[in-house]
Amino acid sequence: MGRRESRVSLPATGRGLGLLVCLDCRLTVRGVKLPRLQCPRCHARLHERKPHSLAITTVLLISAAVLYVPANLLPVMDTRTFFDDESDTIMSGVLVLLQSGSWPIALLVFIASIVVPLLKILALGVLLYSVWRRSPRGRLQRSQLYRMVEFIGRWSMLDIYAISLLATLVQVQTFASIIVGWGAWAFGAVVVLTLLAARTFDERLLWDAPRHD
Amino acid sequence: MQGVMPPVILCPACDLAHRRTATPSSGRTRCARCRAPLQRPESAAIETAIALGLCALVLFWLGNAYPLVAMHVGGSSRATTLMGAARGLYDQNYKTLGALVFLTTVIAPLLQVTALLYVLIPLWRKRTAFGQNAVIRLLTRVRLWSFMEVFMLGALVALVRLSKFAHVVPGIALWCCGLLMLCLSALASVTSPEQLWRWAVGSQE
Amino acid sequence: MSGFCGMRRGMTEPSNPGLDDLPSAVPARSRWGRLSLIWVLPAVVILAGAFVVIHEKLAQGISIEIRFHNAEDLDANKTKIRYKDVEIGEVTDIHVAKDRKEVIVTAMIHRDSTEYLVDDTRFWVVRPRVSAAGVTGLGTLVSGAYISIDVGRSATRSRYFVGLEVPPIVTADLPGRQFVLHADDLGSLSIGSLVFYRHIVAGQVVGYDLDPGGAGVTIKIFANAPFDRFITSGTRFWQASGIDMSLSSDGVKLRTESLTSILQGGVTFRALPGSATTAVAADTRFTLYSDEDRAMRPTETEIRTFVMYFKGSLRGLSAGAPVELHGIGVGEVRSVDVEYDRDAASLRFPVVVDLYPQRIRGRKAGGTRLSAAQEGPETVSRTLIDSLVAHGLRAELKSGNLLTGQKYVDLDVHADAPAEKIWWKEQPAVFPTVSNGLDEIQDSVAGIARKLNKVPFDRISVRLLSTMTGLEQTLKSTDQLMRHVDGSLAPQIEATLAEAQAAMKNAKDLLAQDAPLQSDLGAMLLQLSRAARSVSALVDYLERHPESLLRGKRGDAP
């Protein structure tokens, strides 16, 4: 049916009105001046903003950024055949796919395993920076950026699942066997850390900065 | 405060206060400032959710009990189940990675579906499951870690890579996992948190 | 219960008075009763799932257990079971048996292969192996070890098996037949040793056992089709192992079968020429001979044993030496003994000989056996031998091989041998022999040598020298005398001669009539001519038999 918009002359935020919203059940409740608050409906802990959001997110993000380097430099997969021993990083795996002719899959892996994590890290970095700087510009865009980060986060896992299947199946003794490399571990860590970082980041911080009129 | 819907809705994305309007019959309401989704339409009956949940359960069981894919190369063949793939990582001493795969493809979907059924079936019968609120909370959180659709895509990539040098035969479990993925997404759209709480609270009237 | 489902009252337009009278629609009852259509979905899914489960259960195979000594190269859920290289199952579990002596391997066999699981089906692990048959199983280096199966022929099903530690030599589906050989010892054979027919590999030794009682070895061989057809009642088997070198009166012989048989031993078979070739059943027993000669000896249905006494040394005559008639083997020396003859108070050396009269008869009568059938073999051979001996058939010891000094018995017809007869009543009968000329020559030469030794050649030579010198002088003086004669004596001699002539004439006249002197002379001349004749006969004889000067005339039979 279309949107119903409520127009108020001054943005009335929950903070300003003394209201809280439960992030689990999305119930809006009246805030009470007590240190620990609980949602009346679902009994989840209530916070005005996610506690220590900035700090935790920053820590997670930095860890993810640090691990991103070995995730791409260390081999994720070691293919041992009767004749030789091939080590593949994520990038070389993409190239192998490209060379063997399946370029859509190569593109998919490239996007999911190289572009997306980088994008997430950069995006979260930008967001954190903007919050830190209390920059009021482009809040909508930043919000949309955040939502994109949250949405695509999970798709980076796809290479991990592919590796797990390959490593489990290709164990034909001396003919061919696939050994998982440390790059895969680092990569998994990057994915999890960025997922957690996106989750611990409180979106509302983006809108807390004063708006220029 | 149950049973009475407050007149104000706070946007969980930007903390803006909105006047509550009636729940739309279709489409959804969005935040005035940040366009985040606010309210969702009333969804189908609780039976739909339960039916989908049962389907998901059956599909989950089929998807795990049988091999996902069989590979034939050089006269020998290998096959693995979903849990076997996680186990493969675990066996190669990547215990955390194996646990991660196991969590996101086996535990999360299972918990998601069983928790849902645990809560909804009593609700359907106008009763309240024990610890219902906690379970619903668990359900909504676990749902965030269920990556079945990502797994399907990852499996596709793996199959393509394997088919380059071996004869690959998808097993029955692969199709079941695909259907499970569809089922879970249908389930998620039917059982949004607000809807769940509506049912939950509604039954307590 | 307000405001949560269905229509919202707040949304309706302000009511039109006229419409209040209208009846309201009533909610329609679902045709399916209380069941909503959504339940079809899980129902379908559940049915499909049940279908899948049942299908899988039906297609599931049978679980079997195989016992091995250890689980080397076997992995649960990895190792496959293959029949003719087609995968028919997989190992699902491996654990140590309760008695800790074995390992129990549980495997799942596909449903369509369960008919192979009979109680004489055999399982073994295929991995790289080096054996008498060569290196096998190299492919498993690449593909990993697997368990192979040899399907048995029994009709009883089974699910519990004891695995073989070594692959079987012959599998149940290999065409061919098994046979049993008996030998004194195993020789250089082993399991896997090859069986040859005309130098082609025709089979393998599959097993051997010591006879109960330890008196010999029973060897089982498997002859592949189509070679097993050539094994008939007249087939002989012999060990073709290694290098067969024999040193006999025939000389040195070197025989080998093939390089493989040199390394690991082998068995050869061939049909005996001229023997019956009736087909034989599997597992028929045959004798395994130690070499070709022994194997190829035709079976003698008739053996006549004789004893022979030879003069001279029996050195070089051994048991097994051949008895030949004009170079053809007709018998064999069985033994050489020593006998003390009490009557004559001397030692005798009987040589026991086996003769095969059939061979002689066969050759003489052109291979026909009619006479034997009619008259009986015993009588016929006696008659044969008697007639031969009457014609002078004698046994003689001859040197077969100067190199080795081996001797053999030679039968030959000696026309001027003294008459002999075989006394059949003695058992074994004595066969007449002649002495070996060479021996006598040796003796005579030895005698001559002795005589020559005695002659004082040194003294003779001295005397000869002096005689020679004297003779020379005599000749000189004679020569002078002759000249003298020519000169002075000659006319005197002439006169003497004339007188002699006249005297002769008188004598002739005297002898002209029948004078007793004449007849005396005649008789004397007759005697003279007789003597001359016998001298010429003697000379003739001496020409023919010069050796008789040394050893007297022939006919001195002992």
Element (H, E) at B123: helix B108-124
Residue of A nearest to B131 (CA): A42
Residue A105 with chain B: CB contacts under 8 Å: 156-157, 160-161
Q: Strands A77-81, A28-30: parallel, antiparallel or unpaired by DSSP? A: unpaired
For residue C365, name the pLDDT band (cuts at 50, 70, 90): very low
For residue C78, name the pLDDT band (cuts at 50, 70, 90): confident
Between CA C179 and CA C284 the distance in angstroms is 5
Query: Is the pLDDT score of C517 beyond 70?
Result: no
Q: Summarize pLDDT for C528-556 with one digit per residue, the tens.
A: 778 767 777 777 777 777 666 666 665 44
Q: Summarize pLDDT for A17-32 with one digit per residue, the tens.
A: 778 888 888 888 887 7
- What was the pLDDT predicted at C366? 45
Between CA C123 and CA C88 the distance in angstroms is 13
Between CA C415 and CA C394 the distance in angstroms is 10
Task: DSSP for C105-118, please give it.
Answer: EEEEE-GGGGGG-B
Per the CB < 8 A criterion, the answer to whether C220 and C211 are in contact is: no
Instruction: Give the lowest-confidence range in B36-50, B185-199, C239-253.
Output: C239-253
Best probe of the C interface among A81, A169, A171, A173, by most C CBs < 10 A, is: A173
Sign of the Cα pseudo-torsion (C75, C77, C80, C81, in order): positive
Please give, rounded to a whole number of angstroms, the shortest distance from the CA of C228 to a CA of chain B: 35
Select the more confidently predicted residue: B20 or C264: B20
For residue B103, name the pLDDT band (cuts at 50, 70, 90): very high
Tokens linked to A55: 């700090």
- What was the pLDDT predicted at C249? 63
Q: Summarize pLDDT for B163-194 with one digit per residue, the tens.
A: 888 889 998 999 999 999 999 999 988 888 88
Closest CA to A94 of A85, A106, A112, A86: A106
Q: Is C238 helix (H, G, I), strand (E, B) or coil?
A: strand
Stretch 37-66 of chain B: residues touching chain A, C-beta under 8 Å: none
- The percent of residues above 70 in pLDDT, for chain A, comes to 91
Best probe of the A interface among B9, B104, B106, B150, by most A CBs < 10 A, is: B150
The backbone torsions φ and ψ at residue B71, rounded to the nearest 5 degrees and listed phi first, read: -120, 130
Is B124 within 8 Å of chain A by CB? Answer: no
Residue A172 with chain C: CB contacts under 8 Å: 143-144
Closest CA to C108 of C56, C64, C55, C70: C64
Is B29 within 8 Å of chain A by CB? Answer: yes
Select the more confidently predicted residue: C364 or B200: B200
For residue B132, name the pLDDT band (cuts at 50, 70, 90): confident
Instruction: Give the lowest-confidence range in A209-213, C45-49, C392-396, C449-453.
Output: A209-213
Distance of CA C458 to CAs B36, C445, C462, C469, Å? 153, 22, 6, 17
Q: Summarize pLDDT for A34-56 with one digit per residue, the tens.
A: 778 888 887 888 888 888 888 99
Closest CA to A18 of A8, A32, A6: A32
* B15/A14 CB distance under 8 A: yes
- What was the pLDDT predicted at C191? 79
Is C36 within 8 Å of chain B by CB? Answer: yes
Instruction: Collect all residues with Cβ–Cβ distance below 8 Å to C414 and sequence separation of at least 6.
Output: C392, C393, C394, C434
Between CA C495 and CA C492 the distance in angstroms is 5
Residue B33 with chain A: CB contacts under 8 Å: 11, 140, 207
Stretch 62-81 of chain C: residues touching chain A, C-beta under 8 Å: 78
* A8/B34 CB distance under 8 A: no
Chains sharing 3 or more CB pairs under 8 A with chain A: B, C
How many H-runs (helices) and E-runs (strands) does chain B carry? 8, 7
Residue of A nearest to B16 (CA): A13
- What was the pLDDT predicted at C33? 59
Which member of C36, C46, C143 has the closest CB to residue B75?
Answer: C143
Which member of C5, C38, C42 has the closest CB to residue B42?
Answer: C5
- What was the pLDDT predicted at C134? 67
Amino acid identity of B4? Answer: V
- What was the pLDDT predicted at C368? 46
- What was the pLDDT predicted at C390? 82
Q: Summarize pLDDT for C498-510 with one digit per residue, the tens.
A: 777 777 777 666 6
Which member of C10, C49, C78 has the closest CB to residue B58?
Answer: C49
Please give, rounded to a whole number of angstroms, the shortest distance from the CA of B43 to a CA of chain C: 9
Chain A, chain C: beta-carbon pairs less than 8 Å apart: 15
Query: Is the pLDDT score of C375 beyond 60?
Result: no
Rg, C-alpha atoms of chain A: 22
Instruction: Give the lowest-confidence range in B184-198, C113-127, C494-508.
Output: C494-508
Query: Is the pLDDT score of C6 beyond 50?
Result: no
Residue appearing with tokens 């070594």: C166
* C49/B22 CB distance under 8 A: no
Query: Is the pLDDT score of A162 beyond 80?
Result: yes
Which member of C42, C52, C87 has the closest CB to residue B55?
Answer: C42
Residue of B nearest to A19 (CA): B10
Tokens linked to B164: 């380059």
Q: Summarize pLDDT for C268-294 with one digit per residue, the tens.
A: 888 887 777 788 888 888 888 887 777
Q: Among A65-69, C74-78, C209-213, name the most confident range.
A: A65-69
| For range C67-78, the mean pLDDT | 85
Q: Is C468 helix (H, G, I), strand (E, B) or coil?
A: helix
* C142/A174 CB distance under 8 A: yes
Between CA A106 and CA A88 the distance in angstroms is 14
Select the more confidently predicted residue: C516 or C329: C329
Between CA A160 and CA B89 the distance in angstroms is 10
- What was the pLDDT predicted at A67? 94
Calculate the CA C37 to chain-centre distance: 92
Between CA C8 and CA B24 the distance in angstroms is 10
Residue of C nearest to A173 (CA): C144
Residue of A nearest to B70 (CA): A169
Sign of the Cα pseudo-torsion (C461, C465, C466, C470, in order): positive
Q: Strands B69-73, B167-170: parallel, antiparallel or unpaired by DSSP? A: antiparallel
* B51/C39 CB distance under 8 A: yes
Average pLDDT, chain C: 76
Q: Summarize pLDDT for B80-101 with one digit per residue, the tens.
A: 999 999 988 888 888 889 999 9
Instruction: Give the lowest-confidence range in A159-173, C342-356, C388-402, C526-540.
Output: C526-540
Please give, rounded to a whole number of angstroms, the shortest distance from the CA of A175 to a CA of chain C: 5
- What was the pLDDT predicted at B101? 93
Between CA C369 and CA C377 the distance in angstroms is 9
Is C515 within 8 Å of chain A by CB? Answer: no
Between CA C85 and CA C292 the distance in angstroms is 41
- What was the pLDDT predicted at A213? 40
Distance of CA C467 to CAs B30, C455, C460, Å? 169, 18, 10
| For range C19-40, the mean pLDDT | 66
Chains sharing 3 or more CB pairs under 8 A with chain B: A, C
What ipTM score was computed for the predicted complex, to two decimals?
Answer: 0.88
* A171/C78 CB distance under 8 A: yes
Overall size of chain B counted in residues? 205
Amino acid identity of B79? Answer: A
Residue of A nearest to C144 (CA): A173
Which member of C8, C39, C143 has the closest CB to residue B74?
Answer: C143
Please give, rounded to a whole number of angstroms, the shortest distance from the CA of A14 to a CA of chain B: 5
Between CA B73 and CA C445 the distance in angstroms is 92
Closest CA to C70 of C99, C91, C101: C101
Q: Summarize pLDDT for C131-183 with one digit per residue, the tens.
A: 665 677 777 776 778 899 988 888 888 889 998 888 887 777 778 888 899 98
Closest CA to C222 of C238, C240, C201, C239: C201
* B78/A169 CB distance under 8 A: yes
- What was the pLDDT predicted at A110? 92
- What was the pLDDT predicted at C196? 86
Chain A, chain B: beta-carbon pairs less than 8 Å apart: 224
For residue C241, name the pLDDT band (cuts at 50, 70, 90): low
The backbone torsions φ and ψ at residue A159, rounded to the nearest 5 degrees and listed phi first, read: -70, -35
Please give, rounded to a whole number of angstroms, the shortest distance from the CA of B48 to a CA of chain C: 6
Residue B21 with chain A: CB contacts under 8 Å: 4, 6
Is C138 within 8 Å of chain A by CB? Answer: no
Q: Summarize pLDDT for C460-476 with one digit per residue, the tens.
A: 777 777 777 777 877 78
Residue B54 with chain C: CB contacts under 8 Å: 42, 45-46
Instruction: Give the lowest-confidence range in B18-27, C335-344, C387-396.
Output: B18-27
Please give, rounded to a whole number of angstroms, the shortest distance from the CA of C127 to a CA of chain B: 15
Please give, rounded to a whole number of angstroms, the shortest distance from the CA of A85 to a CA of chain C: 15
For residue C202, name the pLDDT band (cuts at 50, 70, 90): confident
Between CA A187 and CA A117 the distance in angstroms is 9
Query: Is the pLDDT score of C210 beyond 50?
Result: yes
Element (H, E) at B79: strand B76-80
Average pLDDT, chain A: 84
Select the more confidently predicted residue: C11 or C211: C211
Query: Is the pLDDT score of C248 beyond 50?
Result: yes
Residue B197 with chain A: CB contacts under 8 Å: 25-27, 41-42
Residue A28 with chain B: CB contacts under 8 Å: 6, 8-10
- The percent of residues above 90 in pLDDT, for chain B, comes to 41
Query: Is the pLDDT score of A198 beyond 50?
Result: yes
For residue B2, name the pLDDT band (cuts at 50, 70, 90): very low
* C143/A171 CB distance under 8 A: no
Residue C42 with chain B: CB contacts under 8 Å: 51-52, 54-55, 58
Q: Torsion over CA of A146, A148, A154 and A155, rounded to 10 degrees?
A: -150
Query: Is the pLDDT score of C338 beyond 80?
Result: yes
- What was the pLDDT predicted at C261? 58
* C36/B54 CB distance under 8 A: no
Residue C89 with chain B: CB contacts under 8 Å: none
- What was the pLDDT predicted at C13? 45
* B77/C87 CB distance under 8 A: yes
- What was the pLDDT predicted at C137? 77
Average pLDDT, chain B: 86
Task: DSSP for C36-61, please give it.
Answer: -GGGHHHHHHHHHHHHHHHHHHHH--
Residue B74 with chain C: CB contacts under 8 Å: 142-143
Per the CB < 8 A criterion, the answer to whether B135 and B119 are in contact is: yes
- The percent of residues above 70 in pLDDT, for chain C, comes to 72
* A164/B36 CB distance under 8 A: no
Between CA A98 and CA A77 the distance in angstroms is 17
Tokens linked to B45: 């009956």
Between CA C101 and CA C116 the distance in angstroms is 27
- What was the pLDDT predicted at B10? 83
Instruction: Collect all residues with Cβ–Cβ distance below 8 Å to C482 and sequence separation of at least 6.
Output: none
Query: Is the pLDDT score of B79 beyond 80?
Result: yes
Residue of C nearest to A83 (CA): C142
Instruction: Give the lowest-confidence range in C253-267, C414-428, C522-536.
Output: C253-267
Q: What angle do CA C110, C116, C121 make, to 5 degrees?
A: 125
How many H-runs (helices) and E-runs (strands) does chain C carry? 12, 27
Between CA C73 and CA C94 the distance in angstroms is 11
- The percent of residues above 90 in pLDDT, for chain C, comes to 3
For residue C10, name the pLDDT band (cuts at 50, 70, 90): very low
Closest CA to A117 of A47, A183, A171: A183
Is B16 within 8 Å of chain A by CB? Answer: yes
Per the CB < 8 A criterion, the answer to whether C81 and C62 are in contact is: no
